[in-house]
Amino acid sequence: MTTIAILPENPQSLPTRYRAVSGIAQSYGATAGQALDALQAQIGEQAQTTLVVVQSMRPDALFNAVQQRRLAELLDRWRAARDTCSALTPQEQNELDALVEAELRAATERSATLVRQLPS
């Protein structure tokens, strides 16, 4: 089974762009559908069954609102640092890395829960 996740690229910016990810392949689009179409064109027909997860980016028990706000703040700082050829402080980079890891674990758990709910 091919698994595809679709999420807003930067939920705070308008208009929202979407990113579709499957393994190492990824694509972008103005809508979730455009991102999905572009990704499927990239990866082709690899599997007969495809699971698509569209992440709403709302806080939940796995990744709460405080974590989301801090992640957004650190990503904004990281982008600003990148654009000026500088870097975050080691503490900020460690915090960003930890939040990205926590968000990834949360997304993995959400996906696993969805898969467990699928009929056999």
3-state secondary structure 76-99: HHHHHHHHCCCCCCHHHHHHHHHH
Instruction: Give the torsion sign (CA, 97, 101, 102, 106).
Output: positive
* Domain boundaries of the chain, sorted by first residue: 1-56, 58-120
Decide: pTM greater than 0.85: no
Taking only the tens of pLDDT, the chain with its 120 residues reads 677 888 877 766 777 788 888 878 889 998 888 988 898 888 876 656 666 666 667 889 999 999 999 998 998 999 899 999 999 999 999 999 999 889 888 888 887 887 777 766
